[in-house]
């Protein structure tokens, strides 16, 4: 699985002008299931994100996790993270098939919630409008 994590002061995702999910302080997580990914990949990524110390402590150091600060996660499916850029037009053949991607997206969301993190979601497969206020900015790419 691939993800882009953005530390935010707030974020929301809308579909056709209707807000599907919104959070305050926390993480916007753009997530992509890749061909060959399993529930184990989604579980491992959720566990890593829950423990990742990218929030500031009282001294201003990135030393706290999303759980430590009581942050929320807005989780948005993003198959374009699978982009193959060898040519001028990206290819997405390494992304998981939609039915597998949806299952792993839902599993990942459930695992983040099981880590004690409040979650909100986009709409899998929809054309979404994502708004965020990046905090820092802190943006991290990861793959499990």
- CB–CB of 32/79 below 8 Å? yes
Instruction: Give the integer Cα–Cα distance in Å for 65 and 67.
Output: 5
92 is catalytic: no
If you search the block for the tokens 């459930």, which residue do you land on?
110
pLDDT of residue 128: 97
DSSP β-ladder status, 62-64 and 55-56: antiparallel
pLDDT of residue 133: 98
| Catalytic pick among 6, 43, 55, 78 | 78
Cα of 117 vs its chain's centroid, Å: 13
10 is catalytic: no
pLDDT of residue 93: 93
pTM metric for this prediction: 0.96
Where in the chain are the domains?
2-134
Instruction: Give the integer Cα–Cα distance in Å for 135 and 118.
Output: 18
Which tens digits make up the pLDDT trace of 112-137?
Answer: 999 999 999 999 999 999 999 999 99
Q: CATH number for the 2-134 domain, one of 3.30.830.10, 3.40.710.10, 3.50.80.10, 3.10.129.10? A: 3.50.80.10
6 is catalytic: no
| Catalytic pick among 79, 108, 109, 119 | 79
If you search the block for the tokens 């198959």, which residue do you land on?
79
């Amino acid at each position: 699985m691939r993800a882009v994590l953005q530390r935010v002061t707030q974020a929301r995702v809308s579909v056709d002008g209707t807000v599907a999910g919104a959070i305050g302080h926390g993480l916007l997580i753009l997530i992509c299931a890749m061909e060959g990914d399993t529930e184990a990949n989604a579980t491992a990524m959720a566990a890593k994100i829950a423990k990742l110390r990218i929030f500031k402590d009282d001294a201003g150091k990135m030393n706290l996790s999303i759980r430590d600060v009581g942050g929320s996660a807005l989780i948005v499916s993003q198959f374009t993270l699978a982009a193959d850029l060898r040519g001028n037009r990206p290819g997405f053949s390494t992304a998981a098939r939609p039915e597998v991607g949806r299952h792993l997206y839902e599993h990942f969301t459930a695992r983040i919630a099981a880590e004690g993190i409040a979650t909100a979601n986009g709409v899998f497969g929809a054309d979404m409008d994502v708004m965020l206020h990046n905090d820092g900015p802190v943006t991290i790419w990861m793959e499990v």
